[in-house]
Structure 1
């Protein structure tokens, strides 16, 4: 249905957002009082610079009425705002309680509710969202013949195979629905998307219901004046995925699993659980969670070196009851069969390094199962997941001139840095490596990360190189000096090099200078990004991975090709 002033007013009223309709001296609740109330809008935007004849403009965020000067000359048909602007425009205004909520609802309608034509998968958590999203997309693509779209913090994919760098973890609502509409036009049947805490905080996914939502884990992050004021607020925003999903996939070792289960019970949302189990289960559970909680999907290593894993499905959830019910069949050839226990896949050998990525694989398998798929008889589906590489995540390179390995990763907080170092211990601990960490931290937000990164690393890292990461207005050097000041462990070397290219280059030369030992260089925070944000502008940057490739002369490509690149 085409969106008009009349239909927009009805929709906003249904959601208790509409205050009144204003045009000059006419203040009304009846759209019919406005001339042209049934004429369809030709465009929708939240940027006055994009207004063209027939546009509806949603004035969200820190909007100033000065932005509307001369707007009538552009052909504005209607605006939506929390205040009326009759003194600067003759266009009718839909006055609402919340502009960002209105934007999401109106965008969905303008693009003909594309979410209703897709099986929607939403994934949240502090870490692992991107990798789990790529694994899930690979599973769905393998089953559906390449009909799974993806929204991630790394790339967006609207046709099942073409990946374009993204700007946000979760797109602004209007952009998301526009891309969903394109995905539907491209024949997509599924959409896998990361859902950030900010997406719920600022209503980017307002009114959107996921067929399957997944809550992977939680640990303190994104706490700052411009993100979440407290951990409680961060957790609360993450928890909103439960009420906005028809089914929920949950980490059995989730630190707040009991609370999330209460959310699910309150809204009658069935829960499917997953878990990674190593030699010592208690070492892998979040500190405040019950140890070794049973799970529907459990993944375990097949060998002491963790070179392959087996995933098993159990029809009994950890409360002893079947949680899946009877999910709809996603494809004619893929039918879930309810049994007490069965092997989903054995001999799984991922291209992506680290035990934590097998936890992400377990999550993806649980998501696929909750979506109505039985992957146990489809080894080609598992093979598709095994081949996945996410650009800039756990990419390993071997120096051709010294006994040095470098790993490029997006790790940026306590939990992800600790997981990365755990992998180094597991893979290289017997060689007693000299570890260098090249790191910075984001400016103007998430201030706690600066100390947490150092605290997570300093017991195992011998050499720190602090360097530029993304910032709005804070000087790189100030952030680096602050982080350097958090080092308390004795006998730790540290250097501040604000130019990131120079910092990575220095790390390589320093490792070669210590050729009497095996060296591991960890370069975290930026992955394969080709820019650094400084003073709110994106400055071109070669990329951590490309610097290492160039310095090492040849990369270790045995692990596969990064996804989307």
Structure 2
């Protein structure tokens, strides 16, 4: 059914979101009392600058009444808001109790409920969401001849093969549903999407039920006055995926896994677990899917999905060698195989089960060797305590026998996740030999203030720490110091990957990109 005033009111009333409709002196809950109540809206937007003839405008966030000035002349049909703006428009206003929930419901209807034409997969967790999402999409693409779309923090893919940079980990509900419609119209059968804690906090996925949801892991992150005031709030928001999925994949070693499993049980959602065992198959937390090392150097892993069978069709697990280093990526691969299996992929097909082996994600665990010596640099998007700890774990496990000097080049984003500043330092300072603090998406904060705050958390006298604000110069400095050092060095450059911009004052300032700086210096 097309979206018009009458249908919008019906949908909102069903969810107890409707307060009333207001146009001048007419206040009513009955849409039939308003002109053109059955006329379909021609467009929907949350940006007043995009209003055209027949537009439904959702006034969300820090919407100012004066944004409506001139919208009548542009063709505004109706607005939806939590407060009336009759002094600035003659158009009827649908007044609601929660604009974000209302926007999600109305967008879904306007775009023809595209979520019902796709098998929806939602993946949440503190770390590993992007890698798991890419692995899952690769498997499902192989299973469906390229009919899997992707929403991720790195890129969005709506046709199975074209990737475009994304702005948010989880898009705004209206944008997400518009892209779902485009994906469905392009013949996509699956949509794999990362689901952030903010997606539930601000209702970006309100009204969506995932055919398969996944909860990978949890550790403190995004704790700040403008995001989550406490870890409990952060976890609570992420836990919503359990009751908004038809099946749940859960990391067996995830902190508070028992609580998440309780959420799923209360909602009648079956749970399938996965785990990484660092030695043998039977050593570690019991799980439905298990990954364990296939060789002494841990460059390949066995993964047994739901007990045993895989591409070989036998009773043993399949052996996987990924393009991306790190035990944690094999845990992500185990999660992806489990998700894909529950979504209907046939893992007995070799091309399906091994599809992720060639996956490379820009700026994720990319290893470079210096042509001027034996030093190694690893570029990764690690940006919090958990991910930096995992990266240093990998460096020590892989190179510990060579007694490396470890240098971390890192900053932290401005305007959000203030807790990361201490977390990154705490993860590194007792294990790295050198910390170089630099600029990383300061937005509206001064990068020197962010770096000074991070430097204040360094209290280990054995670590050398300093600030080099120019990010390219910081990476160059780390490499120059490594070359001057008489020994083997591992340089960890985290936070930006291949992104060729820095977020400054609400916009993008050009930047060479971490991988490009390392490549240039190592050439």
TM-score > 0.5 by shorter chain: yes
Distance 2:233 2:442 in 1: 23
2:516 equivalent to 1:546 = yes
Query: Which residue is equivalent to 2:293?
Result: 301
Q: CA deviation at 1:281?
A: 9.2
Q: How does 1:86-485 map to 2 (within 5 A)?
A: 86-279=86-279, 292-314=284-306, 342-343=315-316, 345-375=317-347, 377-485=348-456
Q: Is the 8 A contact 1:471 1:536 kept in 2?
A: no
Post-superposition offset of 1:413:
0.9
Give yes or no for contact 1:414–1:455 (8 Å, CA) kept in 2.
yes
Distance in 2 (alpha carbons) for counterparts of 1:436 and 1:110: 52
Give the 3-state SS of the residue equivalent to 1:396 in structure 2.
strand
SS of residue in 2 equivalent to 1:121: strand
Q: Does 1:82 align with 2:53?
A: no
Query: Residue 312 of structure 1 contacts residue 342 of structure 1 at CA under 8 Å; is this kept in 2?
Result: no
1:519 aligns with 2:489: yes
**Residue 372 of structure 1, CA deviation:** 2.6
Instruction: Describe the shift of the 1:83–1:296 C-alpha distance in structure 2 as closer, same or farther (beyond 3 A).
Output: same
How far residue 454 of structure 1 moved from its aligned partner, in angstroms, is 1.2
Classify the secondary structure of the residue corresponding to 1:363: helix
Q: Distance in 1 between matches of 2:301 and 2:46?
A: 47
Measured against aligned partners, the alpha-carbon deviations of 1:404-446 in whole angstroms (never above 9, x if no partner) come to 1111101011111110011101111111111111000111221
Query: Does 2:56 match 1:38?
Result: no
By how many angstroms is 1:370 displaced?
A: 1.6
Q: 1 CA distance for matches of 2:401 and 2:184? A: 51
Tell me, in whole angstroms, the C-alpha distance in 1 between the residues paired with 2:211 and 2:191: 10
User: Does the residue aligned with 1:279 lie in a helix, a strand or coil?
Assistant: coil
For 1:379 and 1:313, the matched residues in 2 are separated by 14
Shift of 1:150: 0.2
Contact 1:218 1:254 in 2 (8 A): yes
1:29 paired residue number: 29
Deviation at 1:336, TM superposition (A): 10
- Deviation track 1:306-346 (CA, whole Å, cap 9, x = no partner) reads 12111113469xxxxxxxxxxxxxxxxxx999x9x944x42
Partner SS state of residue 422, structure 2 = helix
Provide the alpha-carbon RMSD of the alignment. Answer: 1.8
Q: Does 1:531 align with 2:501?
A: yes
- Deviating runs (4+, > 4 A) in structure 1? none
Partners of 1:302 and 1:465 lie apart in 2 by 36
Q: Does 1:490 align with 2:461?
A: yes
Return the alpha-carbon distance in structure 1 between the equivalents of residues 66 and 496 of structure 2: 37
Using the alignment, how far apart are the partners of 1:88 and 1:444 within structure 2? 32
1:540 is displaced (CA, Å) by 1.2
CA distance in 1, matches of 2:501, 2:85: 39
Counterpart Cα distance in 1 of 2:229 and 2:520: 42
- Give unpaired runs (5+ residues) of structure 1: 283-290, 317-334, 554-565
> Would the aligned equivalents of 2:363 and 2:515 in 1 still touch at CA under 8 Å?
yes
TM-score by length of 2: 0.97
CA distance in 1, matches of 2:250, 2:75: 49
Report the CA distance between 1:381 and its aligned residue. 1.4
- 2:9 alignment partner, SS class: helix
Contact 1:253 1:292 in 2 (8 A): no
Change (3 A) 1:422 1:315: closer
User: Is the 1:19–1:96 contact (alpha carbons within 8 Å) kept by the matching residues of 2?
Assistant: yes
Distance, in Å, in 2 between the alignment partners of 1:307 and 1:378 is: 23
The whole-number CA distance in structure 1 between the counterparts of 2:500 and 2:118 is 32
Give the Cα–Cα distance (whole angstroms) in 2 for the partners of residues 86 and 451 of structure 1.
47
Partner SS, residue 140 of structure 1: helix
Q: Does the 8 Å contact 2:23/2:90 carry over to 1? A: yes
Query: Is the contact between residue 313 and residue 342 of structure 1 (CA under 8 Å) also seen in structure 2?
Result: no
Distance across 1 between alignment mates of 2:184 and 2:343: 19
Contact 2:305 2:337 in 1 (8 A): no
* Structure 2 CA distance for partners of 1:42 and 1:336, relative to 1, 3 Å: farther
Using the size of structure 1 for normalisation, the TM-score is 0.90
**1:491 CA displacement:** 2.7
Per the TM alignment, residue 62 of structure 1 is displaced from its structure 2 partner at its CA by 1.3
Q: Distance in 1 between matches of 2:53 and 2:101?
A: 24
Q: Give, in angstroms, the shift of residue 246 of structure 1.
A: 0.4
Q: Which deviations, in whole Å up to 9, do the C-alpha atoms of 1:171-202 show, x marking residues without a partner?
A: 00110001000001110000000000000000
Q: Residues 36, 384 of structure 1: CA spacing in aligned structure 2 closer, same or farther, 3 A cutoff?
A: same
| Rounded Cα–Cα distance in structure 1 between residues aligned with 2:280 and 2:231 | 29
